[in-house]
């Protein structure tokens, strides 16, 4: 096929796509302990919440109108009104419906925002997408038409005790200049579970505002839902912030509902993209979500069920690592949020991809960390010394997986 430059970029096999393809093929053929999954678990209380509101909606007179007609490109109006009320009640941001856009999942939201503000401008200059702290969500690798314009920066690595560490934004290294088109990061972070501090976020917003650069904050794991922050954190908004919420980890990944909260000038641009791409997102999912948010049940189940479940899973993993791991230089990123854990093996004698293959032969699947460092322009051994572990397995599978990991590492470091 003769593809355009954009076609070549979009169809290229990324590192994580090849790994996920490999995982799917092996998981289908044999019994493996899968600690790689990014899918949230279907928790009974969460499923019950969505079943209840779907059942009620199906008996509502508005049901036929919701599924049988096209709607606004901005989103389903009652859902937008519910989001506005919830945000103002919780955070006092003073937003209106003009500050909200609903998208077909947050991934499409990042795709639209990144390509609206980065890449080649009308003067033929490449405007960069800045990922201020790596590792960060590997899905950002595929959202730009111009991958060469993606730039990320090494963090400060703080070792905290014998086997714990934390990533910290390196403000001295970070560059936001006249060729920066947008800044993008996740908080809490996929893959590491790191929560960028409020001071760091405010400094990013300040530096970006001086260049008229939007700051896109991926809050797929943040309060108010799914509220998967294990430490106190406050969502942050500003006149150059595009704050992005998602219902995926709150039990509706199949409905693809993302929410952008931003200044009206950004919403107008993104709504134009949306109209061209999707016309509008699914109204059924929005209608169900509006009911769950309006009743207060979604925030309650996030705080009382979803967050405690995954925090307990992290503690299970943490205890297993402390108990089973050999005397090698391993470090677990402190657990601050998300549904993943991030483990670093200092001076690892082999690359993370080779470690992945050895673990797979022993019946354990994890995600090698190299693909989460997209856009990093300098060589750094750390990028091939890490793995991501999912917290979506059973306690027994997590503990058995750690025993396999310990066995393999004992051989590697010997």
Q: Which pLDDT tens digit goes with each residue over 142-173? A: 888 888 899 999 999 999 989 999 999 999 99
Question: Which among 248, 204, 205, 215 is positioned nearest to 107, based on CA atoms?
Answer: 248
Structure tokens at 235: 């969502």
Higher pLDDT residue, 228 or 27? Answer: 228
Give residue 7's pLDDT.
86
Query: Which domains are seen in the chain, by residue range?
Result: 5-41+300-413 (3.90.1150.10), 46-295 (3.40.640.10)
Write the CA distances from 191 to 163, 165, 169, 337, integer angstroms.
18, 14, 15, 10
Two structure tokens written together for 381: 């051994």
pLDDT computed for residue 169 by the predictor: 96
pLDDT of residue 151: 96
What pLDDT sits at residue 78? 96
What is this structure's pTM? 0.95
pLDDT band, residue 12 (cuts 50/70/90): confident
Look at residues 274, 275, 282 and name the one whose alpha carbon lies nearest to residue 112: 274
Confidence of residue 71 (pLDDT cuts 50, 70, 90): confident
pLDDT digits (tens, 9 = 90+) for 18-32: 666 766 776 656 678
What are residue 157's phi and psi, to 5 degrees?
-105, 110
In sequence order, the β-bridge partners of residue 332 are: 164, 343
Judge if the upstream peptide bond of residue 135 is cis by omega within 30 degrees of 0.
yes
Report the relative pairing of strands 150-152 and 126-131 from DSSP bridges.
Answer: parallel
Residue 127, token pair as written in the block: 């405007």
Q: What's the rounded Cα separation, in Å, for the pair 136 and 146?
A: 18
Residues whose CB is less than 8 angstroms from the CB of residue 51 and which lie 6 or more positions away in sequence, other chains included: none
Q: How is residue 111 written in tokens? A: 């795709």
pLDDT range class, residue 327, cuts 50, 70, 90:
very high
Supply the pLDDT for residue 69.
86
What are the CA-CA distances from residue 315 to residues 55, 190, 322, 360, 410 (Å)?
36, 18, 10, 24, 23
The string of pLDDT tens digits covering residues 89-105 is 999 999 999 999 999 99
pLDDT of 341 above 90: yes
Would the pLDDT of 15 be above 70?
no
What percent of the chain shows pLDDT beyond 70?
96
How confident is the model over 35-49, as a mean pLDDT?
Answer: 90
pLDDT score for 358: 97
pLDDT, average across residues 217-240: 96
pLDDT at 222: 97
Residues 154/135, Cβ–Cβ less than 8 Å: no
Whole-number pLDDT of residue 10: 82
pLDDT for 27 equals 62
Query: What confidence category does residue 5 fall into, taking pLDDT thresholds of 50, 70 and 90?
Result: confident
CB within 8 Å of 206: residues ≥ 6 apart: none
pLDDT at res. 21: 72
Query: Residues near 33 by Cβ (< 8 Å), separated by ≥ 6?
Result: 363, 364, 365, 393, 397, 400, 401, 404
C-alpha R_g of the chain: 21
What is the per-residue pLDDT for 234?
Answer: 94
Query: What pLDDT score does 20 carry?
Result: 67
45 is written with which tokens? 């209380």
Q: Please compute the mean of the pLDDT values over residues 225-230 and round it to a whole number.
A: 96
Q: How far apart are CA 231 and CA 335, in angstroms?
A: 8
- pLDDT of 114 strictly over 80: yes
Q: How much is the pLDDT for 37?
A: 81
3-state SS of the chain is CCCCHHHHHHHCCCHHHHHHHHHHHHHHHCCCEECCCCCCCCCHHHHHHHHHHHHHHHCCCCHHHHHHCCCCCCCCHHHHHHHHHHHHHHHCCCCCHHHEEEECCHHHHHHHHHHHHCEECCCCCEEEEEECCCCCCHHHHHCCCCHHHEEECCCEEEECCCCEEEEECCCCCCCCCCCEEEEEEECCCCCCCCCCCHHHHHHHHHHHHCCCCCEEEECCCCCCCCCCECCCCCCCCCCCEEEEEECHHHCCHHHCCEEEECCHHHHHHHHHHHHHHCCCCCHHHHHHHHHHHHCCHHHHHHHHHHHHHHHHHHHHHHHHHHHHCCCCCEEEECCCECCEEEEEECCCCCCHHHHHHHHHHCCEECEEHHHHHCCECCCCHHHHCEEEEECCCCHHHHHHHHHHHHHHHHHHHC
How do residues 346-388 score in pLDDT, each as one tens digit? 999 999 999 999 999 999 999 999 999 999 999 999 999 999 9
pLDDT in tens, 173-194: 999 999 999 999 999 999 999 9
What backbone torsions phi and psi does residue 204 show, to the nearest 5 degrees?
-60, -45
Nearest to 385 by CA among 412, 362, 364, 414: 412
């Amino acid at each position: 096929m003769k593809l355009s430059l954009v076609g070549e970029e979009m169809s290229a096999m990324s590192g994580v796509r090849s790994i996920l393809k490999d995982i799917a093929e092996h998981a289908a053929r044999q019994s493996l302990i899968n600690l790689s999954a990014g899918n949230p678990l279907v928790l009974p209380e969460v499923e019950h919440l969505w079943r209840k509101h779907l059942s009620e909606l199906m008996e509502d007179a508005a049901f036929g109108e919701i599924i049988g007609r096209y709607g606004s490109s901005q989103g389903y109006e009652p859902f937008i009104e519910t989001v506005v009320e919830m945000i103002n009640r919780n955070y006092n941001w003073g937003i209106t419906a003009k500050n909200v856009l609903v998208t077909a999942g947050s991934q499409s939201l990042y795709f639209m925002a990144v390509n609206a503000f980065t890449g080649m401008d009308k003067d033929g200059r490449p405007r960069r997408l800045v990922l201020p702290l790596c590792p960060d969500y590997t899905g950002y690798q595929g959202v730009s038409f111009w991958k060469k314009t993606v730039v990320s920066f090494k963090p400060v690595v703080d070792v905290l005790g014998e086997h714990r560490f934390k990533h910290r934004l390196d403000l001295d290294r970070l560059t936001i200049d006249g060729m920066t088109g947008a800044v993008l990061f996740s908080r809490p972070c996929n893959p590491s579970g790191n929560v960028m501090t409020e001071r760091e976020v405010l400094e990013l917003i300040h530096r970006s505002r001086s260049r008229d650069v939007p700051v896109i904050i991926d809050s797929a794991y943040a309060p108010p839902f799914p509220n998967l922050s294990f430490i106190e954190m406050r969502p942050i908004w500003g006149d150059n912030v595009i704050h992005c919420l998602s219902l995926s980890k709150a039990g509706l990944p199949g409905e693809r509902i993302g929410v952008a909260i931003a200044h009206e000038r950004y919403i107008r641009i993104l709504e134009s993209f949306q109209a061209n791409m999707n016309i509008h997102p699914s109204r059924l999912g929005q209608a169900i979500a509006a009911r769950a948010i309006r009743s207060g049940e979604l925030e309650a189940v996030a705080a009382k069920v979803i967050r405690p479940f995954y925090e307990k899973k992290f503690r299970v993993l943490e205890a297993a690592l402390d108990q089973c791991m050999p005397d090698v230089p391993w470090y677990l990123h402190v657990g601050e949020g998300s549904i993943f854990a991030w483990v670093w093996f200092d001076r690892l004698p082999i690359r993370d991809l080779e470690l992945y293959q050895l673990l797979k032969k022993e019946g354990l699947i994890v995600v090698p960390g190299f693909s989460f460092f997209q856009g990093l322009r300098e060589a750094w051994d750390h990028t091939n010394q890490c793995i991501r572990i999912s917290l979506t397995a059973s306690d027994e599978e997590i503990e058995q997986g750690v025993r396999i990991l310990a066995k393999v590492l004992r051989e590697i470091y010997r």
